Amino acid sequence: MDFSGKTILITGGTGSFGKACTRHLLDTADPHAIRVFSRDELKQTEMEADYRDDRLRFLIGDVRDRERLERATRGVDLIIHAAALKHVPVCEYNPFEAVQTNVIGTENVVAAAIRNDVPQTMFLSTDKAVNPVNLYGATKLAAEKIVSQANAYAGDADVRFATVRYGNVVGSRGSVIPLFLRQAETGVLTITDDRMTRFWITLEQAVQFVLSRIDLADGGEVFVPKIPSMRVMDIADAIAPEAEHRITGIRPGEKLHEVMLTEDESRHSRDLEDCYAIDPEFRFRQIRKPLTGTAVADGFRYSSDANTEWLTADDLRAVLPTLQPVA
């Protein structure tokens, strides 16, 4: 998509992804305006002072408020829906709040986009949505279904909805890397299970992947990037090779390994070389764009423990000095 002259709305725009995406668009494209939609006036004020760009519009609002979203999306060419409650323990302790923001909030974004004929909406999901074992993952799975089905709700309107599903962002708050960095000072690292693996992606890679999938979306797809895995023990070795390891056991709602594409999804998925596209199981309308890629083998499963690409301890050591804490 050529972002020049476009008006873009980013929900959760003061979060880590929203800020990185805004910076990328301002630096590499010439959008008419970027509407930063979020609840926190302090973060908006700080972001405005930091970016100092007259193409930015700061809108206080909550995705739970459909009326506010309908006003915010008027005249918009693209919505990037990044707003969410995403910390697993917070969602477990506050389940109804998680549903209100992650599920009802996504429905409100969809409704506003249809009401205002927004041509493209891209939703950010997570590997936790696949075979979810915690409420956060369950809300993201529900949101994925809402976004996909939005293409049917839109009828013959010229609007499209799609999803990007990716893994852990390297260095994100609440993840194991900042935890290990803090614990390294004590000489003891707490490890839930030494067999654990995870998918990893940098924040900039996530931004570039999301923006690059917009032109590929015909409606209803879930795009899954091909990204490396890493073993938790290699992460520990990269950060504090001399530290003692204390095994604490897997926490509630946690998995040994993550999956980003299941055997059942493989039946309607395509390999696009740098990613997989999970197509909706039924098409809502005539295909607008020619489908590309090759069919994924029946029974294929894309999981962090069976990945073909791995980050080593040395790979992580090389990027650690460049990491900035992200929310």
For 181-201, the pLDDT digits (tens) are: 899 999 999 999 999 999 999
As assigned by CATH, the class of the 7-322 domain is alpha beta
Mean pLDDT of the chain: 93
Mean pLDDT over 11-19 rounds to 95
Among residues 83, 32, 36, 42, the alpha carbon closest in space to that of 59 is found at 36
Q: What is the pLDDT of residue 145?
A: 96
User: What band does 177 get if pLDDT is binned at 50, 70 and 90?
Assistant: confident
Mean pLDDT over 54-72 rounds to 98
User: What band does 319 get if pLDDT is binned at 50, 70 and 90?
Assistant: confident
14 vs 322, which has greater pLDDT? 14
Mean pLDDT over 288-295 rounds to 84
293 three-state secondary structure: coil
Q: What is the pLDDT of residue 289?
A: 74
For residue 6, is pLDDT > 70?
yes
246 three-state secondary structure: strand
Of 201-205, 249-253, 300-304, minimum mean pLDDT range: 249-253
Distance CA(308)–CA(234), nearest Å, equals: 16
Per-residue pLDDT tens over the stretch 88-125: 889 999 999 999 999 999 999 999 999 999 999 999 99
Active-site annotation holds for 128: yes
Per-residue pLDDT tens over the stretch 263-289: 999 999 999 999 999 999 876 666 677
Mean pLDDT over 247-254 rounds to 88
Q: What is the pLDDT of residue 170?
A: 82
User: What band does 327 get if pLDDT is binned at 50, 70 and 90?
Assistant: very low
Percent of the chain topping pLDDT 90: 82
Q: Tell me the C-alpha to C-alpha distance, in Å, between residue 322 and each of 41, 123, 211.
A: 28, 27, 23
Q: What is the pLDDT of residue 286?
A: 65
Q: What is the pLDDT of residue 230?
A: 94
User: What band does 132 get if pLDDT is binned at 50, 70 and 90?
Assistant: very high
324 vs 256, which has greater pLDDT? 256
Alpha carbons within 13 angstroms on the beta-carbon side of residue 153 total 18
* Of 6, 43, 128, 255, catalytic: 128
142 three-state secondary structure: helix
Q: Where are the alpha helices (DSSP H) in the chain?
A: 16-28, 41-51, 66-72, 88-93, 95-99, 105-115, 135-153, 176-183, 203-213, 232-239, 263-266, 313-319
User: What band does 155 get if pLDDT is binned at 50, 70 and 90?
Assistant: confident
Token look-up 């990044």 returns: 82
